[in-house]
Structure formats: C-alpha cells, structure tokens
A and B are shown apart, each in its own frame.
Chain A
Amino acid sequence: QQPVQSPQAVILREGEDAVINCSSSKALYSVHWYRQKHGEAPVFLMILLKGGEQKGHEKISASFNEKKQQSSLYLTASQLSYSGTYFCGTENKDSSYKLIFGSGTRLLVRP
C-alpha cells in the first residue's frame, strides 16, 4: 500500500534542480508533499487534488497524474534550506480519510 518514491537519495550543489517521484499502486484522491528535517515534525509543502493538477510554491512545484497514480515534486535552483527528507502522502480511494506516506527521498544540498 505504501507509495514508492524515487530516487531514495540525491545530492545537489546549491542552485541545481531535482525531481522526486511518487508512485502508487492504488487509485488516489489526493497527494500531499511534506519535508522533514532530522528529529523534527514533517512540514507541509502542498496538496494536489485533481489529476493533471500542477502547483507551485516558490521554487518548489508538483504535478499529479491521476491516471498513472503518480506525482512528481520539482525543486528548482535548490537552496541549502531544501535539505531534508521528502515524503509524499497519498489518500487512497479505497480507504477512509488517512494519509499513507511513501518511502521518502533524502535530499542534501551542498554549497
């Protein structure tokens, strides 16, 4: 049930771009993206509700392909503060209100 994220880890130099993918085997109502720093609670980034929806949040944006049950998070011109672990949370159509989180993608941005 857990969505699969790729890559598992990525290292960037400041200013570089990255894409994080989230793929589910289940039909989805929505996809949520969070970033977590070590020892802290996850921080909300954005929600995608409709298939084909794209959203932007400063230099972080995301897309949701409902048919493929996939979402991607795009990080452009990365900053040091982007370092952390990124999780997608999926709301499956065959279950009640709850988020199932993906395996996570560890991102390190170096100067």
Chain B
Amino acid sequence: GAVVSQHPSRVICKSGTSVKIECRSLDFQATTMFWYRQFPKQSLMLMATSNEGSKATYEQGVEKDKFLINHASLTLSTLTVTSAHPEDSSFYICSASYPRGPRPMNTEAFFGQGTRLTVV
C-alpha cells in the first residue's frame, strides 16, 4: 500500500511556542490531505482538508489562525500549531488518498504514524 510519513512522531514544546508537523506522501501524489486530532480514548476528529495550491478548508469550530495548514506541493502538507497551550496537547494525525474521479471514495485513506504533541 501507499506510504504516508508524518514527522515528528513526538514533540514536547513550551507554552507560547509554535510547532510544525509534516505529512508526506512518499510514493504517490496527494492533491488532498486531511488533518485529524485525537484525544485519549476518543475518535479522530477532522480538523481540516488540505488542498494543494489553495487554502485549507477548516471544519466548524477549528481556529484557522491557531492551526495553520500549508500544502505547498503534491507530496507535502504541514500543520503548524501556533502559540501552543497545554490544551493543544493531543495526538495529531494526517491522511492522504490517491487522486480520485467521480464519487464515491473508492480508495482507502492512508494514515501517517501520528504526532504526539505535549505542551508544557
């Protein structure tokens, strides 16, 4: 299957600093990537859809200025948590799919390994 690489796997940062998380599709071009957040023992909550060459589409309730998403190339999307606070501590995970034609999504979403963010 396709490979999506996410980096770093773990990061600890101080309150008020910014953290950048990278998501790369290693063997395919992903025009769209997705960013999720997961709290312990809870579901994956979609934060935003990252579109190559255009602005990200954020889900309701997700702060655009807090979670900056950049999709500069067909293989790389980045999520920057700005001015991090302890409540931003969570597991962040990206996914990507092959470019697709007509609906429905007939290919699986490939997930990165996830990033455990701890803000102290």
A98 and B34 form a contact (CB under 8 A): yes
Q: How far is the CA of A40 from the CA of B36 in the complex (A)?
A: 14
Chain A contacts of B113 at CB under 8 A? 40-41
A101 and B114 form a contact (CB under 8 A): no
A87 and B114 in contact, given A30-B106, A32-B108 (Cβ under 8 angstroms): no
Tally of contact residues, B, Cβ under 8 A? 30
Chain B contacts of A89 at CB under 8 A? 109
Chain A contacts of B1 at CB under 8 A? 44
B43 and A99 form a contact (CB under 8 A): no
A96 and B44 in contact, given A32-B109, A44-B109, A89-B109 (Cβ under 8 angstroms): no
B105 and A99 form a contact (CB under 8 A): yes
B66 within 8 A of A: no
| A interface SS class | loop
Chain A contacts of B36 at CB under 8 A? 101
> Could you tell me which residues of chain B, from 74 to 95, have a CB within 8 Å of some CB in chain A?
91, 93, 95
User: Which residue from chain B places its CB closest to the CB of A98 in the assembled complex?
Assistant: B49
B100 and A40 form a contact (CB under 8 A): no
B43 and A104 form a contact (CB under 8 A): yes
A41 and B43 form a contact (CB under 8 A): no
A29 and B111 form a contact (CB under 8 A): no
B97 within 8 A of A: yes
Contacts A29-B103, A42-B111, A47-B106 known; list 16 others, CB within 8 Å: A30-B105, A32-B105, A32-B108, A39-B116, A41-B113, A42-B93, A44-B109, A91-B105, A96-B49, A97-B32, A97-B49, A98-B34, A98-B46, A99-B34, A101-B46, A104-B43
27 A-B pairs within 8 Å (CB atoms) are namely A29-B103, A29-B104, A29-B105, A32-B109, A39-B114, A40-B114, A41-B111, A42-B44, A42-B93, A44-B1, A44-B110, A47-B105, A47-B106, A49-B104, A87-B43, A87-B44, A89-B109, A96-B57, A97-B100, A97-B103, A97-B105, A98-B34, A98-B49, A99-B34, A99-B105, A99-B109, A102-B43
Interface residues of B (CB under 8 A from A): 1, 32, 34, 36, 41-46, 49, 57, 91, 93, 95, 97, 100, 103-114, 116
